[in-house]
Amino acid sequence: MTENPQQVTSASGPGGAIYDIGYRRYVGPRLGRRFAVRSLFAHTVRGAFGIGRGGRAKVVPFGLLVILMIPALVSLGVGALAGGAAEAFDPITYQGYYSITQAILFLFIAAQAPELVGPDQRNKVLPLYFSRPILRSDYAFAKLAALVAALMLFSLAPQALLFFGRILQAPDVGDGISKNLGSLLPILATACALSLFYAAIGLAISAFTPRRAYATAAIIGLFIASNAGVGILWQLLRGDARRILAFFSVETILAGVAAFFFDEKSENMIVRRADLPGWSYLVAVAIIAGVCIALLFRRYHVVET
């Protein structure tokens, strides 16, 4: 360590020279707020997959990803063995896949959303973030965008596998493309809606309950209570009034959105029987996600540091 930053000392030896150049000023570029927000986004996406947080943190996300891919692999495997003959009997549709995705991503949200925002509050890292060239709302935005992106990756991975697998398995690739291409936009649109919906709910709950266990319990509770509650009430009630129940469970809302985008009959019994206009589910997603996002931003606007 030199006393003077300008002074350069050297120790020459057979291995070369070691220079102590003292404190060096940083003269490179300072990229400011946009870069900072992008960095937080990337850091959070990595965190959602447990990357950079040790081996154990990767078990849940990657385990769920593998489970999520299994139906697609089985479907393609059967298709490969049976040739074109199996296509007619393949129970897996793009729309139907989202009911599997939805159930598994719910576990992902319950496990990972608290992990993305809880520790920063628990360990009081927020003051360090807020002393950077970003706004409090930038922090909330980066976290939300990162979780949406992670969920998009999760929802699209099996769909992409199925999509390209089916095209390649078709006797004629051109034919395969024309058969499957129509599903591309619905696949993307449903993934967007699902990801935004889950991310907004998961983060809003997690941001208010920094204790991981509480947040996970609250998310699981909300999903199970809404799904089971609507299922039970559907059986108990009769008449037109019960149709509105379809807006009150995570499962039916997302099933309704998927059916709307794919422009098909829903695979969900309640959604099919309720027979509500498809766009109304999209409105439900927009309202619920909007309220959750507003709560999330509000939380970071006022949270004490």
Q: Which residues bind other proteins (CB under 8 A)?
A: 3-5, 22-26, 28-33, 35-36, 39-40, 43, 52-54, 57, 119-120, 123-125, 127-135, 305
Nearest approach, Cβ of residue 145 and other proteins (Å) = 15
Identify any residues that bridge with 16 across adjacent strands, giving them in sequence order: 13
Query: Looking at the DSSP assignment, which residues form a beta bridge with residue 17?
Result: 12
Min separation Cβ 109 and other proteins, Å: 20
Element at 220 (helix H, strand E): helix 212-236
The residue (of 102 and 206) whose beta carbon lies closer to other proteins is 206
> Which is nearer to other proteins, 120 or 267 (by Cβ)?
120
**For helices 136-169 and 184-208, angle between their N-to-C axes, nearest 10 degrees:** 150
Residue type at 82 in one-letter notation: A
Q: Which lies closer to other proteins via its Cβ, residue 31 or residue 70?
A: 31
92-120 b/e (C-beta count within 10 Å ≥ 16 → b): bbbbbbbbbbbebbbbbbbbbbbbbbbeb
34/265 with CB nearer other proteins: 34
- Read off the DSSP letter of residue 137: H
Nearer Cβ to other proteins (108/139)? 139
In one letter, which amino acid is 294?
A
Distance CA 210, CA 117 (A): 7
